[in-house]
Amino acid sequence: MTWSARGFPYQEHEARRKVDQIGSVVMVGSGKGGVGKSFVASGLALSLAGMARRTGVLDVDIHGASLPSYLRVRPPLRTGRRGIEPKRSGGVKVMSVALFTGQNPVPMRGDAKESLITQLVALTDWGPLDYLVVDLPPSMGDELLSAFRLFGGKSRFLLVTTPSPNALSVVARLRRLIASERIPLEGVVLNMAYASERRGRSYPFGVADASSVRKMLRADVIAELPLEPAVNSESLVEVLRKSKETSTAFKALADRVVRGP
């Protein structure tokens, strides 16, 4: 399949119109791969919807889309009168390139990526939303820069990390970029921070605790999420229904996003 950047000015206009109908955008990123960005983006979106907020989640991870598997949505998509209908999961409107491509690889670079992300925003019938949660891929490449450009003015950033020093040093670089772009930082989510309810006694992946993370990233740790083995076998809707510890942590995170510090 080839992708074209043609039609960009029209898509851009349409994307702006869609963004105007969103109350607030929460970008979920890290810089580092595999720390749980998609887990956090999905869980936050479901918890916001659980608080009766009109919520969408947009996957801008073109090559490694994993939102559809957390939220158990898959192709085909349908087109209605006002555009492509997003999938729904637990009350959340979901859009991802993987809903077009399924399990096929999506090789792509540069302008084509920017165009694709713009189109995902522009052609989707989001309707009015209180929150759009954006799941970012690792790195500081096209996807992140496209998201900054499209949503920068009305967005906040949620940094996800594990307590591992290796993750933290990468996340610290993204933290500097967010500051230089003047995007408000909502806070840090420490994922896989502890192994069980014996919280505080067990940091399985590294040495950093919430207070050292706060110092290193110059930002508040606003949620600590446990290791949750069920995420690999069940939908996140099910995980949140069954696991009190994880759902309580996500509810507190959603509450913080809605009400502020």
Residues lying near Mg ion in the complex (CB under 5 A): 37-38, 66
What dihedral do alpha carbons 94, 121, 116, 111 form, nearest 10°?
A: -140
Residue 8: CB minimum distance to Mg ion, A? 26
Name residues contacting ligand ATP, limited to 45-64 (CB under 6 A).
Answer: 61, 64
Whose structure tokens read 């729904």?
88
Residue 228 interacts with ligand ATP (CB under 6 A)? yes
The answer for 231, left when phi > 0, alpha when psi is -120 to 50, beta otherwise, is: alpha
| Among positions 12, 15, 26, 37, the unique one binding ligand ATP when judged by CB under 6 A | 37
Residue 28: CB minimum distance to ligand ATP, A? 8
Residue 130: CB minimum distance to ligand ATP, A? 23
Residue 192 interacts with ligand ATP (CB under 6 A)? yes
Of 171-179, 205-213, 221-229, 233-241, the window that binds ligand ATP (rule: CB under 6 A) is 221-229
Residue 193: CB minimum distance to ligand ATP, A? 8
Residue 7: CB minimum distance to ligand ATP, A? 28
Residue 40: CB minimum distance to Mg ion, A? 9
Residue 185 interacts with ligand ATP (CB under 6 A)? no
| Among positions 4, 16, 21, 34, the unique one binding ligand ATP when judged by CB under 6 A | 34
Of 31-39, 121-129, 198-206, 252-260, the window that binds ligand ATP (rule: CB under 6 A) is 31-39
Residue 164 interacts with ligand ATP (CB under 6 A)? no
Nearer to ligand ATP, 11 or 90 (CB): 90
Which residues are near ligand ATP by CB under 6 A?
A: 30, 33-39, 61, 64, 66, 137-138, 191-192, 225, 227-228, 231-232
